């Protein structure tokens, strides 16, 4: 602690209010405690913010504020003609952080990259079982099936060989679980008999380096002066863990923090009119929808599904359920994802026409179930209320509906059944910003009986999506996905309901902060005015 | 006295076993499969599900899991949190000083104000002071903690800027956690202003947490005093010509304190068991908030370990209260 800090401390104490703001320090009032600091062990955004987003790098990174991928510690890469081999060329001179607990003796090389993946892939790797590693995301993204081998070609070249072509691979490698760890540090910990410290005292190559964590209270980082991308403008980055949203707001107002995530919808109005707050907003990387069971009559008939979609007043749902923090969804992917097809026209809200369409299809006395999840999700803050509104809308076109719900674990499980009775409210938050992560994961034939809760296997759609998986050219993939969205709209396996709107109130002193469409909170490139 | 102590200690054993069984089985009664919850919308394949079951030990029969657990407990191993992957006991001990510090401050404040207020109200029974005090106590008792805390923050922190909004100390002070008690650590750090900052951060949470016990203690003191003030020996003391201060403060109060001590003991137990709301609002890194997070994550090990430790602490506090009775009232000690 320097004299400067001490003096400032005194001045501030005169007012008793700890309005901590000294040059080069950014305080982020985070919403919860990280589970640990090894991103590959976890799936929560809170943990990623505290580890991968600011401390680590990946071969490929997401360009800040977009879902586009750009070079990370790999400065370039080639994909073989058959789409099975990915050769990455590492950036020379990338330094791991020198901390109080570790001093690296060499720059990052291919060994580090191989280690970072093999610890999740190879049961023989000494780190495979450390910290009860279940490698959720690595498994969730089907990496064990996908990766045939990872080899070091030379110190700065790594080759991934896949079992099948997979264009979203590049986006997968930009995900948090693919963060590059220092093998030298991991080996040193293993030799010292404390491998679990890899999850408690992180060493990365990213813009910020870990200093200390006081459980449930504060995480401290300092700017990494040796960062290959240039030292960050923020010298000290502090996460002040503040679980209550109203309290985060009060702290922002009192100058006790600069950036806060997840405000209360009820506070948004006051924030908008507060000159001391800059309220940023963007559509979230998610979609909330109602999935019909396309295997069960009469929902196997696209016209019936379409008619029900037209019976729903989506704008009213957004107004009531999201209280303004949402927008009507017309496509199964959110507008922040590349290849979003804005030319698609949504089904109009027209109960009269809907009723007529149903009659034409011979549906006069339909009663159905509408499933409502018991928990708040980013894509659906109040499923019960949403289901009630849908029930009223359906009643207006002569369709009776009953709302059912189960405990969340049960709900997820039972809604997968192919003979499920009823339409289910569901949603998805994207993992890697790739359209494949929505269109193939949620609507592909392979996912029937799993994440494809519409149980919808429609060849023309599936062909487009599968084709896009094996092409690595982004422009070509974009065309295929745009077409797929048109087919989706014609066939209407879901009623697409909403994308949430993410709000992030920040202090006007904060410059160059960008909302991350992937839901992270990234402080490289951000500065704080005095 | 020794016999009394041994008798009380013996009752510990069944209570302790009961608590472990209840905490173990009840958390498992809450619907929600931890693996399905962890997987979320992404889902998990049946093979992977079976793998995870084995890894977490959920594939064993429940009684087998319980016996494993009890065996661990007697060896001082409360298990490992499956979220943070750290030993439950370490997690608890890291967070407990924060809860203890806040609870002690709150209970001291409640006693320091509650007892004198109750005495004064009893002595001035039915007068303006008594009625105001009892109405205030009722309001304090009935107020939603969440609302009360936010109100104080909005007025004193955001509005007047007198106190910080939340946390334990200003973020610019940074020193190692020697004891976990911020008041002591900040003094030991030798950094100027650190202690004052720690105190300023304690003010609002202490007031909020003290509100309910204060109301209860004040009301209890008043009614106990009223009862005692009607006793013969108090009249005798007055007749002897003792000053009202001596009559009320010594002769009456000492006897009135017995029921009040019970109330204080129970409050301490409740406070330690996790001032959940207060800790959440003031971002106070204590055990209450940790327990709630663990329940939501179905972190079985953390919940059952935490519950057991809290139960042991509550049992110890109650034992101390019982011993205090003995000091205050020789009849109990000898009976």
pLDDT for B29 beyond 90: no
Q: How far apart are CA B73 and CA B21, in angstroms?
A: 12
Task: Name which of B294, B304, B311 is nearest B78 in CA terms.
Answer: B304
Q: Chain A within 8 Å of B195 (Cβ-Cβ)?
A: no
pLDDT number for residue B333: 59
Q: Chain A within 8 Å of B173 (Cβ-Cβ)?
A: yes
Residues of chain B neighbouring A252 (CB-CB closer than 8 A): none
Q: How far apart are CA B184 and CA B204, in angstroms?
A: 19
Residue in B33, B37, B164 nearest the CB of A17 = B164
DSSP state of A72: S
Give residues with Cβ within 8 angstroms of A300, minimum separation 6: A294
Task: Name which of A221, A240, A202 is nearest A33 in CA terms.
Answer: A240
Q: How far apart are CA A502 and CA A517, in angstroms?
A: 9
Q: Chain A within 8 Å of B38 (Cβ-Cβ)?
A: yes
Residue of B nearest to A25 (CA): B172
Percent of chain A whose predicted confidence (pLDDT) is above 70: 96
Same domain, B69 and B191: no
Residues of chain B neighbouring A246 (CB-CB closer than 8 A): 150
In a domain, B306, yes or no: yes
CB atoms within 10 A of CB B160: 12
pLDDT number for residue B311: 85
Angle at which helices A183-191 and A110-121 pack, to 10 degrees? Answer: 60
Q: How far apart are CA B202 and CA B216, in angstroms?
A: 22
Same domain, B159 and B288: yes
- Paired tokens of A283: 């559509």
Same domain, B57 and B116: no
Interface ipTM: 0.82
Among B19, B53, B77, residue at a domain's last position = B77
Pairing of strands A85-90, A157-162: antiparallel
Residue by residue, what is the 3-state secondary structure of A257-308? CCECCCCCHHHHHHHHCCCCCEEEEEECCEEEEEECCCCCCCCCCHHHHHHH
pLDDT number for residue A52: 96
Pairing of strands A278-283, A494-506: antiparallel
Residue in A36, A134, A428 nearest the CB of B52 = A134
Choose the mutation target among B172, B175, B194, B280 for the interface with A, i.e. most A CBs under 10 Å. B172
Q: How far apart are CA B35 and CA A136, in angstroms?
A: 11
Distance from B94 to chain A by nearest Cα, in Å? 8
Contact A17 B162 (CB under 8 A): yes
Tell me the mean pLDDT in the region B124-139: 90
Residue of B nearest to A242 (CA): B283
Task: Name which of B117, B266, B47 is nearest A139 in CA terms.
Answer: B47
Q: What is the pLDDT of residues A230-249, one digit of tens each?
A: 999 999 999 999 988 999 99
Mean pLDDT of chain A: 92
Tell me the mean pLDDT in the region A202-222: 95
Please give the residue that has the higher pLDDT: either B37 or A419: A419
Contact A215 B164 (CB under 8 A): no
Q: Chain A within 8 Å of B53 (Cβ-Cβ)?
A: no
Choose the mutation target among A5, A216, A437 for the interface with B, i.e. most B CBs under 10 Å. A216
Q: How far apart are CA B21 and CA B329, in angstroms?
A: 36
Among B77, B105, B139, residue at a domain's last position = B77
pLDDT for A14 beyond 70: no
Q: Chain A within 8 Å of B96 (Cβ-Cβ)?
A: no
Q: How far apart are CA A19 and CA A158, in angstroms?
A: 48
Q: How far apart are CA B127 and CA B285, in angstroms?
A: 43
Q: Chain B within 8 Å of A450 (Cβ-Cβ)?
A: yes
Residue in B84, B154, B163 nearest the CB of A35 = B84
In a domain, B26, yes or no: no
In a domain, B138, yes or no: yes
- Paired tokens of A512: 């160059």
Angle at which helices B300-328 and B88-123 pack, to 10 degrees? Answer: 40
Tell me the mean pLDDT in the region A176-203: 96
Same domain, B51 and B177: no
Same domain, B44 and B188: no
In a domain, B84, yes or no: no
**Cα A155–A159–A161 angle (5° rounding)?**
160
Q: How far apart are CA B166 and CA B223, in angstroms?
A: 36
pTM over 0.90: no
Give residues with Cβ within 8 angstroms of B7, minimum separation 6: none
Q: Chain A within 8 Å of B192 (Cβ-Cβ)?
A: yes
Q: How far apart are CA A517 and CA A504, in angstroms?
A: 12
Q: Chain B within 8 Å of A79 (Cβ-Cβ)?
A: no
pLDDT for A11 beyond 50: no
Q: Chain B within 8 Å of A519 (Cβ-Cβ)?
A: no
- Paired tokens of A175: 């995900």
Distance from B18 to chain A by nearest Cα, in Å? 28
Q: What is the pLDDT of residues A48-84, one digit of tens each?
A: 999 999 999 999 999 999 988 999 999 999 999 999 9
Tell me the mean pLDDT in the region A100-116: 97
Q: Chain A within 8 Å of B290 (Cβ-Cβ)?
A: yes
Q: How far apart are CA B267 and CA A14, in angstroms?
A: 35
Give residues 4 to 33 of A whose Cβ lies within 8 Å of B: 5-6, 8-10, 12-13, 15-20, 22, 27, 32-33
In a domain, B11, yes or no: no
Contact B164 A33 (CB under 8 A): no
Tell me the mean pLDDT in the region B279-288: 90
Contact B174 A220 (CB under 8 A): yes
Q: Are A352 and A358 in contact (CB under 8 A)?
A: no
In a domain, B23, yes or no: no
pLDDT number for residue B1: 67
Task: Name which of B227, B24, B203, B218 is nearest B105 in CA terms.
Answer: B203
Give residues 303 to 332 of A whose Cβ lies within 8 Å of B: none
Contact B171 A416 (CB under 8 A): no
In a domain, B22, yes or no: no
Q: How far apart are CA A325 and CA A496, in angstroms?
A: 16
Q: Are A398 and A355 in contact (CB under 8 A)?
A: yes
Same domain, B164 and B225: yes
Q: How far apart are CA A122 and CA B281, in angstroms?
A: 44
* Helix, strand, coil percentages in chain B from 3-state DSSP, rounded to 5: 75, 0, 25
Give residues 410 to 429 of A whose Cβ lies within 8 Å of B: 410, 412-413, 416, 426-429
Q: How far apart are CA A392 and CA A376, in angstroms?
A: 21
Q: Are A240 and A30 in contact (CB under 8 A)?
A: yes
How many angstroms separate the Cα of A139 from the Cα of each of A47, A97, A145, A147, A178? Answer: 18, 28, 9, 11, 12
Q: How far apart are CA B298 and CA B31, in angstroms?
A: 10
CB atoms within 10 A of CB A300: 14
- The alpha-carbon radius of gyration of chain B (Å, integer) is 24
Distance from B191 to chain A by nearest Cα, in Å? 7
Lowest mean pLDDT among A114-128, A206-220, B252-266: B252-266
pLDDT number for residue A288: 96
In a domain, B278, yes or no: yes
Same domain, B104 and B68: no
Contact B82 A132 (CB under 8 A): yes
Furthest CA-CA distance within chain B? 87
Mean pLDDT of chain B: 86
Contact B84 A214 (CB under 8 A): no
Residues of chain A neighbouring B280 (CB-CB closer than 8 A): 243-244
Same domain, B219 and B279: yes
Question: What DSSP line would sit under A420-453, residue for residue?
Answer: --SEEEEEEE-SSS-THHHHHHHHSGGGBTTTBT
Strand order in the sheet with A157-162: A74-79, A85-90, A157-162, A147-154
Q: How far apart are CA B255 and CA B266, in angstroms?
A: 19
Contact A413 B85 (CB under 8 A): no
Q: How far apart are CA A411 and CA B280, in angstroms?
A: 29
Q: How far apart are CA A235 and CA A528, in angstroms?
A: 10
Which CATH number do you get for residue B166? Answer: 1.10.3720.10
- What is the pLDDT confidence band of residue B210, given thresholds at 50, 70 and 90? very high
pLDDT for B330 beyond 70: no
Q: How far apart are CA A276 and CA A254, in angstroms?
A: 9
Give residues 218 to 277 of B whose Cβ lies within 8 Å of A: none
Contact A9 B192 (CB under 8 A): yes
Give residues with Cβ within 8 angstroms of B250, minimum separation 6: none
Residues of chain B neighbouring A427 (CB-CB closer than 8 A): 41
Q: Chain B within 8 Å of A139 (Cβ-Cβ)?
A: yes
Tell me the mean pLDDT in the region A453-476: 94
Q: Are A202 and A37 in contact (CB under 8 A)?
A: yes
Task: Name which of A72, A62, A37, A70 is nearest A175 in CA terms.
Answer: A62
**Is residue B327 exposed (0-12), middle (13-18) or buried (19+ Cβ within 10 Å)?**
exposed
- Paired tokens of A508: 């006007």
Residue B69's domain spans which residues? Answer: 33-77
Residues of chain A neighbouring B193 (CB-CB closer than 8 A): 6, 9-10, 12-13
Q: What is the pLDDT of residues B64-82, one digit of tens each?
A: 888 888 888 888 888 888 7
Residue in B31, B95, B162 nearest the CB of A216 = B95
pLDDT for A280 beyond 60: yes
Q: How far apart are CA B230 and CA A369, in angstroms?
A: 69
Task: Name which of A313, A315, A321, A319 is nearest A393 in CA terms.
Answer: A313
Tell me the mean pLDDT in the region A450-456: 94
Q: How far apart are CA B220 and CA B111, in angstroms?
A: 11
- Paired tokens of B33: 């499969």
Q: How far apart are CA A207 and CA A232, in angstroms?
A: 6
Q: How many domains does chain B have?
A: 2
Tokens 């002071």 found at: B129
Lowest mean pLDDT among A141-145, A334-338, A392-396, B313-317: B313-317
pLDDT number for residue B274: 54
Same domain, B58 and B136: no
Residues of chain A neighbouring B54 (CB-CB closer than 8 A): none
Give residues with Cβ within 8 angstroms of B90, minimum separation 6: none
Among B77, B110, B139, residue at a domain's last position = B77
Q: How far apart are CA A73 and CA A57, in angstroms?
A: 7
Tell me the mean pLDDT in the region A440-460: 94
Helix, strand, or coil (residue A493): coil
DSSP state of A130: G
Helix (H) or strand (E) holding A237: strand A236-240
Same domain, B113 and B238: yes
pLDDT for A191 beyond 80: yes
Residues of chain B neighbouring A1 (CB-CB closer than 8 A): 172-175, 191
Same domain, B68 and B154: no
Percent of chain A whose predicted confidence (pLDDT) is above 90: 81
CB atoms within 10 A of CB A47: 22
Helix, strand, or coil (residue A369): strand
Contact A13 B197 (CB under 8 A): yes
Residues of chain B neighbouring A27 (CB-CB closer than 8 A): 171
Residue in A216, A244, A407 nearest the CB of B31 = A407
Same domain, B128 and B100: yes
């Amino acid at each position: 602690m320097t004299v400067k800090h001490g003096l400032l401390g005194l001045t501030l104490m005169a007012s008793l209010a700890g309005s901590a703001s000294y040059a080069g320090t950014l305080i982020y009032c985070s919403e919860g405690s990280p589970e640990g600091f090894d991103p590959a062990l976890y799936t929560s955004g809170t943990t990623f913010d505290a580890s991968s987003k600011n401390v680590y790098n990946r071969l490929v990174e997401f360009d800040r504020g977009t879902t586009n991928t750009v070079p990370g510690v790999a400065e370039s890469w080639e994909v073989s003609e058959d789409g099975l081999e990915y050769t990455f060329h590492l950036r020379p001179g990338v330094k791991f952080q020198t901390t109080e607990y570790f001093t690296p003796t060499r720059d990052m090389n291919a060994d580090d990259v191989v280690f970072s993946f093999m610890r999740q892939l190879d049961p023989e790797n000494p780190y495979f079982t450390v910290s009860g590693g279940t490698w959720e995301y690595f498994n969730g993204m089907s990496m064990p099936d996908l990766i045939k081998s990872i080899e070091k070609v030379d110190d700065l070249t790594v080759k991934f060989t896949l079992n099948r072509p997979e264009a979203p691979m590049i986006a997968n490698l930009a995900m948090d679980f693919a963060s590059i760890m220092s093998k030298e540090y991991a080996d040193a910990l293993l030799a010292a008999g404390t491998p679990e410290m890899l999850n408690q005292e992180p060493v990365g190559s990213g813009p910020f380096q870990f200093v200390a964590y006081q459980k449930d209270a504060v995480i401290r980082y300092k700017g990494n002066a040796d960062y290959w991308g240039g030292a960050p403008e923020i010298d000290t980055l502090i996460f002040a863990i503040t679980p209550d949203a109203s309290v985060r707001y009060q702290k922002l107002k009192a100058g006790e923090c600069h950036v806060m995530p997840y405000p209360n919808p009820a506070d948004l109005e006051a924030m908008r009119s507060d000159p001391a707050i800059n309220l940023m907003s963007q559509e979230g990387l998610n979609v909330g929808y109602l999935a019909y069971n396309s295997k069960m009559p009469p929902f196997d008939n696209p016209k019936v599904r379409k008619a029900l979609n037209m019976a729903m007043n989506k704008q009213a749902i957004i107004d009531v359920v999201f209280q303004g923090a949402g927008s009507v969804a017309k496509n199964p992917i959110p507008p922040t994802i590349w290849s979003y097809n804005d030319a698609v026209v949504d089904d109009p809200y027209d109960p009269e026409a809907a009723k007529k369409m149903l009659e034409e299809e011979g549906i006069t006395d339909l009663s159905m179930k509408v499933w409502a999840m018991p928990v708040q999700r980013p894509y659906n803050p109040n499923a019960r209320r949403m289901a009630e509104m849908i029930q009223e809308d359906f009643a207006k076109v002569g369709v009776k509906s009953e709302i059912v719900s189960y405990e969340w674990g049960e709900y997820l499980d039972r809604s997968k059944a192919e003979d499920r009775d009823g339409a289910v409210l569901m949603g998805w938050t994207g993992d890697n910003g790739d359209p494949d992560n929505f269109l193939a994961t949620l609507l592909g034939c392979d996912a029937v009986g799993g994440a494809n809760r519409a149980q919808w296997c429609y060849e023309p759609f599936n062909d487009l999506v599968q084709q896009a998986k094996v092409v690595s050219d982004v422009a070509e993939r974009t065309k295929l996905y745009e077409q797929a969205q048109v087919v989706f709209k014609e066939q209407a396996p879901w009623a697409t309901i909403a994308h949430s709107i993410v709000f992030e109130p920040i202090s006007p002193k904060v410059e160059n902060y960008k909302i991350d469409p992937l839901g992270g909170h990234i402080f490289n490139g951000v500065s704080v005015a005095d | 006295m020794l016999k009394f102590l041994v008798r009380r200690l013996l009752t510990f054993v069944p209570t302790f076993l009961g608590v472990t069984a209840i905490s173990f089985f009840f958390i498992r009664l809450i619907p929600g499969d931890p693996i399905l919850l962890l997987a979320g919308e992404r889902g998990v394949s049946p093979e992977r599900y079976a793998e995870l079951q084995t890894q977490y030990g959920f594939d064993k029969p429940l009684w087998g899991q319980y016996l494993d657990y009890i065996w661990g407990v007697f060896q001082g191993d409360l298990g490992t949190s499956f979220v943070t992957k750290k030993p439950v006991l370490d997690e608890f001990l890291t967070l407990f000083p924060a809860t203890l510090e806040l609870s002690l401050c709150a209970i001291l404040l409640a006693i320091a104000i509650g007892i004198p207020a109750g005495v004064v109200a009893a002595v001035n029974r039915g007068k303006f002071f008594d009625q105001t005090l009892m109405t205030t106590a009722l309001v304090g008792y009935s107020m939603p903690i969440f609302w009360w805390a936010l109100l104080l923050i909005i007025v004193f922190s955001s509005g007047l800027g007198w106190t910080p909004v939340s946390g334990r100390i200003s973020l610019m002070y940074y020193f190692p956690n020697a004891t976990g008690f911020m008041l002591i650590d900040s003094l030991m750090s030798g950094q100027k202003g650190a202690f004052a900052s720690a105190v300023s951060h304690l003010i609002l949470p202490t007031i909020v947490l003290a509100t309910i016990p204060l109301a209860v203690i004040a009301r209890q003191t008043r009614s106990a005093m009223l009862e005692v003030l009607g006793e013969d020996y108090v009249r005798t003391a007055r007749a002897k010509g003792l000053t009202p201060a001596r009559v009320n403060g010594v002769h009456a109060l000492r006897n009135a304190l017995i029921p009040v001590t019970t109330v204080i003991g129970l409050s301490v137990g409740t406070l330690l068991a996790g001032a959940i709301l207060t800790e959440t609002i003031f971002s106070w890194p204590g055990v209450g908030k940790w327990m709630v997070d663990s329940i939501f994550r179905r972190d079985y090990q953390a919940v059952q370990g935490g519950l057991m430790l809290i139960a042991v602490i509550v049992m110890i506090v109650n034992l101390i209260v019982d011993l205090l009775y003995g000091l205050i009232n020789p009849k109990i000690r000898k009976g």
